[in-house]
Amino acid sequence: MKERGLLIVLSGPSGVGKGTVRKEIFSQNDANFQYSISMTTRKPRAGEVDGVDYFFKSREEFEELIKQEKLLEWAEYVGNYYGTPVDYVEQTLSEGRDVFLEIEVQGALQVRKAFPEGLFIFLAPPSLNELKNRIVTRGTESQELIDNRMKVAKEEIIMMDAYDYVVENDRVDLACERINAIVVAEHCRRERIAPRYKKLLEVE
């Protein structure tokens, strides 16, 4: 039977750079991991594509998915639903491939319960001022939404102790290096690589 893949959860406050870091990791890693595309009821931002950035759903459609237990986790975040399709995650892990989730903190804590063996990484900003500066500079949110996201961010930062690792996103290249190193180390620790080397001891 194939060894199950590793479930990697990258979480942290809005604007810290989760999406930026995740895209950079995927561009370097030649798809070592599979990205789980989330469902959301948020309206697409300029340039966002349905089925690439998110699966965009109405509230009714999302509530139906909740009812049918199609989501591994879900959360209502600043007025919209966000959730992870359970079938994709289960199927990919059972094929022995690693799955990468990029989700907010309430959802990550639900995943922790369902997958205690997952790898939970909290991406932290260098400071709250820099976090605010990043959301403002991104230019995608109204002032009211920025204020709401910053309020939630303070509650999320308190939860960082619930994660296996905290990685500071001071520079994107350094944050990616740290996350890649953590994933490699976790694979080794879980002896998913080591058994392959046992072959070296097989004498002909």
Ligand X SMILES: Nc1ncnc2c1ncn2[C@@H]1O[C@H](COP(=O)(O)OP(=O)(O)OP(=O)(O)O)[C@@H](O)[C@H]1O
Ligand Y SMILES: Nc1nc2c(ncn2[C@@H]2O[C@H](COP(=O)(O)O)[C@@H](O)[C@H]2O)c(=O)[nH]1
Q: Report the interface residues with ligand Y, using CB under 6 A.
A: 14, 18, 38, 42, 73, 75, 77, 82-84, 102-104, 106-107
Q: What is the dihedral of CA 148, 83, 160, 34, to 10 degrees?
A: -130
Q: Which of 45, 63, 65 is nearest to 54 (CA)?
A: 45
Does 148 bind ligand X (CB under 6 A)? Our answer is no
Q: Give whichever of 58 and 188 is closer to ligand Y, judged by the CB atom.
A: 58
Q: How far is the CB of 199 from ligand Y (least distance, A)?
A: 39
Q: Give whichever of 3 and 61 is closer to ligand Y, judged by the CB atom.
A: 61
Strand partners, 34: 99
Q: Give whichever of 174 and 185 is closer to ligand X, judged by the CB atom.
A: 174
148 touches, from ligand X, ligand Y, none (C-beta below 5 to 8 Å by class): none
CA 25 to chain centre: 12
42 touches, from ligand Y, ligand X, none (C-beta below 5 to 8 Å by class): ligand Y
Residue 59, C-beta contacts closer than 8 angstroms, at least 6 positions apart: 41, 81
Q: How far is the CB of 172 from ligand Y (least distance, A)?
A: 16
- Residue pair 39/62 in contact by the 8 Å Cβ criterion: yes
- Residue pair 10/178 in contact by the 8 Å Cβ criterion: no
What is the spatial distance between Cα 182 and Cα 179, in angstroms, rounded to a whole number?
Answer: 5
- Applying CB under 6 A, among 9, 16, 124, 176 the residue interacting with ligand X is 16
- Applying CB under 6 A, among 5, 6, 8, 18 the residue interacting with ligand X is 18
> Computed over its alpha carbons, how large is the radius of gyration of the chain?
18
Q: How far is the CB of 9 from ligand Y (least distance, A)?
A: 10
Does 20 bind ligand X (CB under 6 A)? Our answer is yes
| Contact set with ligand X (CB under 6 A) | 14-20, 134, 137-138, 169, 171-172
